[in-house]
Amino acid sequence: MDTDMEVSNRLAALREKLKLDQVTFAKSLGIEKNTYNAYERGKRPLTIETAKKIRKKYGISVDWLLFGDIGQPNYQFLLSIEAPPEPAKREPVRKKRSA
């Protein structure tokens, strides 16, 4: 993870781009304004829980928030590590008795 100051700079840039003050932004995430202020000043590390809230509410990549990454892993690579779906279960075929 980047330093707390690098993360705080991205948080401030995001909030300003959204044209929100700290109180409104913190409230939108369900956290206290003092907690958010400490994140934005680099006095407290951004928690994974708060990063996930930002991701869910604003669609901002957790990778970008925490690491500054704007690229994404190769799609084929992600498919290769994804667990394959379980095969559909089939009902046994019952033979009809002839009378």
The CATH number for 51's domain is 1.10.260.40
82 pLDDT exceeds 80? no
Is residue 46 a part of any domain in this protein? yes
Overall domain count for the chain: 1
For the segment 44-69, the average pLDDT, to the nearest whole number, is 93
Please tell me the predicted confidence (pLDDT) of residue 69: 80
Cα torsion angle, 75, 77, 78, 83, sign: positive
Tell me whether residue 49 is in a domain: yes
In a domain, 41, yes or no: yes
For residue range 9-48, list pLDDT tens digits in order. 999 999 999 999 999 999 999 999 999 999 999 999 999 9
Query: Could you tell me the residue range of the domain that residue 23 belongs to?
Result: 4-78
C-alpha to C-alpha distance for 63 and 71, rounded to whole angstroms: 9
| pLDDT above 90 as % of the chain | 60
Q: Is residue 89 part of a domain?
A: no
49 versus 90: the higher-pLDDT residue is 49
Does the residue 56 lie in any domain? yes
